[in-house]
Structure 1
């Protein structure tokens, strides 16, 4: 007969919260990876565009074309700074998600430990009870044999 421990409800709730935190952490990790990939892509695109500008400048280029390149590079720089801010925010959220998951996991581990201790105590108490009952049966059987031999 399985007896439900009082901690079972807490363990179930902690398991659900830990699983939810793990799912949120996965979403945050995906977002973090995506934002950093976009930042890397923008940086590489800017570098390529800058390298192209350098080649054109070496061979001579009209000032209007140079101005267009400069404006475009400034636009790219603003986009890079915005993406860098998004990536930094994503990193902060990911760090927070890790902390949340770790806290939930620690709570679950604590409840599991308490449940294991309670189960061990229950088994010990049941073992002692069974031993007492066995001792009593043996004592009664011995007493009955002793009374038959004198009777």
Structure 2
């Protein structure tokens, strides 16, 4: 029984580490989805603003209004660039987190496999012990019968 205790402890720790890695992966995945939505919103806003600029240019606009539109579009382009950079960084972190989670899962599976092998070996030993006891009992019964005759 004492040989199982360390393995059980290792399995429990591996489960905790795998669960922690899974939660971190989930959190990063949510952050990535949020960043992707923000990027989509920025791009949509930029497209809407460009459409508005084109419509305003057709109806006529002052040079200062045109300059203000261009400056704002440049600001949106900068924000889009920053969001793309943030999304790229999240993608890198997400991949690292996925690899870490997979590593933790492999450890857990390895410990589970060891536990299954140990349980199987213990069952074989118990079955052999039981078979030996049955054989000895049968031999004693046969010996008693033989001694009565």
Please classify the TM superposition score into its range, dividing by the shorter chain length.
over 0.9
The equivalent residue for 2:145 is 145
Deviation (angstroms), 1:51? 0.9
SS in 2 for 1:87: helix
CA-atom RMSD in angstroms: 1.1
Query: 1:60-105: per-residue Cα shift (whole Å, max 9, x none)?
Result: 2110100000111111111111111111111111111111111111
Q: Which 4+ runs in 1 deviate beyond 4 A?
A: none
What's the offset of the Cα at 1:148?
Answer: 2.1
Structure 2: which 5+ residue stretches go unaligned?
none
Q: Give the TM-score taking structure 1 as reference length.
A: 0.93
For the residues of structure 1 that align with 2:138 and 2:128, how far apart are their CA atoms? Answer: 15
In 2, distance between residues paired with 1:110 and 1:18?
A: 13
Q: Where do 5+ consecutive residues of structure 1 fail to align?
A: none
Give the TM-score taking structure 2 as reference length.
0.94
Name the structure 1 match of 2:61.
61
* Separation in structure 2 between the aligned mates of residue 64 and residue 15 of structure 1, nearest angstrom: 63
Number of equivalences: 147
C-alpha separation between the residues in 2 aligned to 1:107 and 1:40?
A: 38
